[in-house]
Homo-oligomer: A and B are copies of this chain.
Amino acid sequence: MAKFAYDSTKNADLFYAIKVPVLDPFFFIDLGQAKYVFLDHRELGFFQEKNKNPNLQAVLLKPSGSFEDFAWQLLEQYGLGQGELEVPFNFPLQLADFLRSKGIELSVQESLYPERAIKTTEEVQAIRQSVQKTEKAFALIERILRESTIQENSILYNEEVLTSEFLKSEAEKLLLKEDMISEEGIIISCGQHAAIPHHPGEGGLKPHQTIVCDLFPRSRTTGYFADITRTFVKGAPPEEIQKMYEAVLLAQQEGIKAVALGKKASDIHKVCIDVLLQAGYHVGDKGFVHNTGHGLGLEVHENPRLGEKSEETLEPGNVVTIEPGLYYPERGIGIRIEDDILVTAQGAENLVSYPKGWVIP
């Protein structure tokens, strides 16, 4: 069935289809083999220079009439003036109403290219590269923590109080040199902040408390994300944190094993839950409050999801994060460990080789 969309390549499906960034919304038609993008003079030349796909053609946009009328002209021109069209879940609603009034049936897709969940060798290579570049940022973070000293309730680096902001800025600069952009930010959060999974972190980092470092930059060259989390403690973690870290690490290891065994997505989540419950921690409203992981590719969070309600079974070519965590705001503790796992015919490969030594004296 033909696909029809109106969006920019910030929509990962459109970037997947055309492989050249176009930052303003455009019309897109996919007839199966032949694909068409309709661009104006601002974009056309660049697109034609970069496009390597002989089945994808850029057509100069000559808009006339209303937005809806123009879309209709395009469809008729490409023989799509009747029948059914696949459109993305967030297809413009007014245009949808208009097309339906013309007798077009719209088949709404959660993803226009669900095959995105199965990565090709080239895509795996791109993710691998993003992961390796992101590991360099972890090495930098760890080096700075190692070279820092503890003074009472602060961590000092080059005689200044080491902050979340400084570490994020250093990591971001290194990543930019590697052509990786942290467009959704960076999490380097300590103590109370670490206990809120998506808190980006701010202010001075504290010794003997957990420091959650979650980096999820995207390659500007390939478009593919990495997504890695390590939790560090500068100084000596109290026993409470030690035990908790060990439980999260075990949950993560068992989660990865479950991927390798070909378990269903929801069962992988269950494996992590069970480890944490058995170790005496909570799941749901406190403790382990999020899913075990998610697909990774042109989106930082994409299908398949690894949660209670997931219905998928993982397949070779899936790349998923495994990232159990524990969060206790009242105790000021958050811990998360996250790797990116490629599902293979034989089992699973952890694309992240960055070590998990976490206590930095």
Partner of A92, one of B21, B40, B89, B199: B89
Of the listed stretches A73-81, A126-134, A176-184, A230-238, name the one at the interface; the rest are far from the partner chain: A176-184
Residues of B within 8 A of A184 (CB): 23
Residues of B within 8 A of A10 (CB): 10
A290:B41 contact, CB within 8 angstroms? yes
| Size of A's binding interface in residues, CB under 8 A | 45
- Least CB separation from A172: chain B residue: B176
A198:B94 contact, CB within 8 angstroms? no
B176:A43 contact, CB within 8 angstroms? no
Annotate A334-352 by CB proximity to B: 1 below 8 A, 0 otherwise: 0000000000000000000
A199:B46 contact, CB within 8 angstroms? yes
Residues of B within 8 A of A199 (CB): 45-46, 49
Residues of B within 8 A of A49 (CB): 196, 199
Residues of B within 8 A of A97 (CB): 108
Mark out the residues of chain A between 25 and 79 whose CB falls within 8 Å of any chain B CB in the assembled complex: 40-46, 49
A305 to chain B, nearest CB (A): 11
Partner of A94, one of B24, B89, B169, B176: B89
A59 to chain B, nearest CB (A): 14
Residues of B within 8 A of A94 (CB): 89, 108
Residue A327 CB within 8 A of the other chain: yes
Task: Report Cα–Cα, A177/B285, bound state, in Å.
Answer: 38
Residues of B within 8 A of A96 (CB): 93, 96
Task: Report Cα–Cα, A44/B197, bound state, in Å.
Answer: 9
A106:B93 contact, CB within 8 angstroms? yes
Residues of B within 8 A of A89 (CB): 92-94
Task: Report Cα–Cα, A200/B23, bound state, in Å.
Answer: 12
Take A90-B92, A94-B108 as given contacts and tell me if A42 and B197 are in contact as well, using a CB distance cutoff of 8 Å: yes
Residue A91 CB within 8 A of the other chain: yes
A42:B290 contact, CB within 8 angstroms? yes
B87:A46 contact, CB within 8 angstroms? no
Residue A136 CB within 8 A of the other chain: no
Residues of B within 8 A of A329 (CB): 45
A198:B91 contact, CB within 8 angstroms? no
7 CB < 8 A contacts A-B: A21-B185, A41-B289, A43-B198, A44-B196, A87-B93, A93-B108, A183-B183
